Amino acid sequence: MDENLKQLFSKTRLLVSKEDFAVVGLPAVADVQIGGEGFSAVIKERGITTVILPVEKWEASVQNVKGAVVEKPFKVIMFDTIVPWEGSSGFLAEISRVLSSEGISFGSVSAHSHDHIYVKASEKDRAVKALEKLISECKEGPAAPPAPAEEGEEE
């Protein structure tokens, strides 16, 4: 791994959402208002609006629209380090490598200064464990392989 990425991951803390999130596909480009603080995202593209917000906010809103496709529950994991535009090439690729090696699917949202991923709530613990291992290895270097057994010793 590139030395810049190692430095970046070594300074990273994971912040995991306590609340569950929904990923909602609305069947048109909608004018969506999300109030309050905390993580949420609205992505408008051709013919669809995707909203990522706490399940509680979605269920309490009047935005429960006919034809909405709601997937839940997800947990959001924020990488609590500033991810600069320069020198951070491969940051999400490394996250993808680690999670895919564990068979964990995820979505990502990059904000101005931080990257976020969302995983199925049932995969949160496995995802956090894998990412914490990556961070730890970047801080300390990879764990040394066990020393070979000496002749006459049992393995």
In a domain, 148, yes or no: no
Q: Strand 14-16 to strand 69-79: parallel, antiparallel, or no bridges (unpaired)?
A: antiparallel
Are 2 and 24 within 8 A, CB to CB? no
pLDDT tens track for 106-127: 999 998 889 999 999 999 999 9
Longest dimension (CA), the chain: 73
Assess if residue 155 is contained within a domain.
Answer: no
pLDDT digits (tens, 9 = 90+) for 57-98: 888 875 557 788 999 999 999 999 988 888 788 999 999 999
Q: What's the predicted TM-score (pTM) here? A: 0.84
Q: Is the pLDDT of residue 56 over 80?
A: yes
Q: How many residues does the chain have?
A: 155
Query: 29-40, pLDDT tens digit by residue?
Result: 666 767 677 888
Residue 12 located in a structural domain: yes
The answer to whether the CB of 51 falls within 8 A of the CB of 71 is no
Give a yes or no: residue 149 inside a domain.
Answer: no
Question: Is the residue at 146 inside a domain?
Answer: no
Please list, residue by residue across 76-85, b when 16 or more beta carbons sit within 10 angstroms of its beta carbon and e when fewer do.
bbbbebebee
CATH of the domain at 7: 3.30.2130.10
Task: Assess contact for 130 and 117: CB atoms under 8 A.
Answer: no
Q: How high is the pLDDT of residue 19?
A: 95
Give a yes or no: residue 58 inside a domain: yes
